[in-house]
Amino acid sequence: MAVHPIDYRYGSEEMRRIWDEENKLQKLLDVEAALARAHAKLGNVPEESAKIISEKANTKYVKVERVKEIEDEIHHDIMAVVKALTEVCGEHGKYIHLGATSNDIIDTANALLIKESLEIILKDLRELRSILKDLAKEHKYTVCIGRTHGQHAVPTTYGMKFAIWLDEIQRHIERIEEAKKRILVGQMSGAVGTMASFGEKGLEIQRLVMEDLGLKPARISNQLIQRDVYAELMAILALIASTLDKIGLEIRNLQRTEILEIGEPFGKKQVGSSTMPHKRNPIRTEKICGLARVIYSNVMPALLNNPLWHERDLTNSSVERVILPESFVLLDEMLKNMKKVLSGLDFFPENIKRNLYMTNNLIMAEPLMLKLTERGMGRQEAHELVRQLAMKAFHEKRDLIDVIREDEEVRKYLSDEDVESLKPENYIGLAPQIVDNIIAYIDEKERAEKA
């Protein structure tokens, strides 16, 4: 019976399959087989034995159920795998696990699981990048109100919003690619990292095993890969989650009834509430923001796993059985939901324009101040004058443009044409060019990836 929602509710089948019992067992068997092959290449194990071990190191022969039965008897998970594999290899089984300690197998297998998981995360990030790039292009000139401290500030564009998120997604792709050389490492170094159990050929055995599995060998370890590596991985996953949280939070805010500039896609038969039939709740982005909290919380255990007793203790093991699959599956769920949200995002242009003009042009106070300084008024004097006029417009519930037309001091500096030019659509600065620059940068990165 499934208990944790990642077993049945969250994450894709593809990601869950990576972390299910059978695939995890297969990765352990893959490492054991690679070790046997390395020994055979160096003459420590008969070629025929390595061949048989490699053939039988498969869940077609070594069943999860049998491994569990043995573990129930001996209370050691890796020895249970070794014994189950030995059973199906007959006389060749005596060469299994030769010179290795448990974490040589576990940590190297984990690297294989992480490698598979990161490929899915990268695929989703690249697809999300493509969606955001298209949105940035499409809405390069969609002018909207910018908000700071939750208050109307000055105009910006939706292209800017999407381009900011796009640039951040690109950084996550680069972070993962750059960190792979530290994260995707395995070890074959024996009980305390000295390789004494492998003799003089220890470094060569480790090199051959990792080369076989497509991993980098750890430069140094004790009984395990040092957990700063896992902490870095968890921090990167949390950073990605924080970006999705950020995007989700912005969409949720902009979907609020009194704002309603954009909104999540809402299906024809979708139900928003069990009692209020009119509701269009932003459930996908709320889920994204909620699941981010779980991923954030998994960073602290990963940090605490780095300091262990002497050459190691077991306090990290139980934690990693939880935080690794949980973080990958939940982030997978978040990424796939965000792709659905952004690819089907609803826009409400009339509300975007309404909100842009909601404050009766008070948002034109900054360009008014700057135009006065261009015409010769001191900057501080202009700031105070415009502040007073803005407060007057606010309290009298009048349009700022109408108020400044009446002000004699302003009219000493500004012509009718100057005043008429004070429109939100005219005050987006270099936003389109900035968006174009980001898109060009992303295009360059995409070409480099394909090269």
- Which amino acid is located at 127 in the chain? E
Q: Which one is catalytic: 273, 297, 318, 415? A: 273
**Spatial distance between the Cα atoms of 25 and 16, rounded to a whole number of angstroms:** 14
Asked whether 415 and 364 are in contact (CB, 8 A), the reply is: no
Asked whether 231 and 295 are in contact (CB, 8 A), the reply is: no
Which among 335, 343, 303 is positioned nearest to 320, based on CA atoms? 303
Which among 227, 250, 206 is positioned nearest to 101, based on CA atoms? 206
**Residues contacting residue 202 through CB under 8 Å, at least 6 positions apart:** 99, 188, 189, 190, 195, 196
Phi-psi label, residue 426: left if phi above 0, alpha if psi -120 to 50, beta otherwise: alpha
Is 149 noted as a catalytic residue in this protein?
yes
Asked whether 232 and 184 are in contact (CB, 8 A), the reply is: no
DSSP string covering 314-352, please? SHHHHHHHHHHHHHHHHHHHHHHHHHHHHHT-EE-HHHH
Torsion angle of alpha carbons 21, 27, 30, 31, nearest 10°? -120
Q: Which one is catalytic: 39, 76, 102, 149? A: 149
Is 273 noted as a catalytic residue in this protein?
yes
Torsion angle of alpha carbons 32, 38, 39, 45, nearest 10°? 80
- Give the Å distances, CA to CA, from 300 to 229, 238, 295, 316: 14, 11, 10, 12
Taking each helix axis from N to C terminus, what angle separates 77-89 and 21-41, rounded to the nearest 10 degrees? 60
Asked whether 35 and 100 are in contact (CB, 8 A), the reply is: yes
Q: Which residue has the tokens 């939070």?
A: 249
* Alpha carbon 275 to its chain's center: 35
Catalytic residues: 149, 273
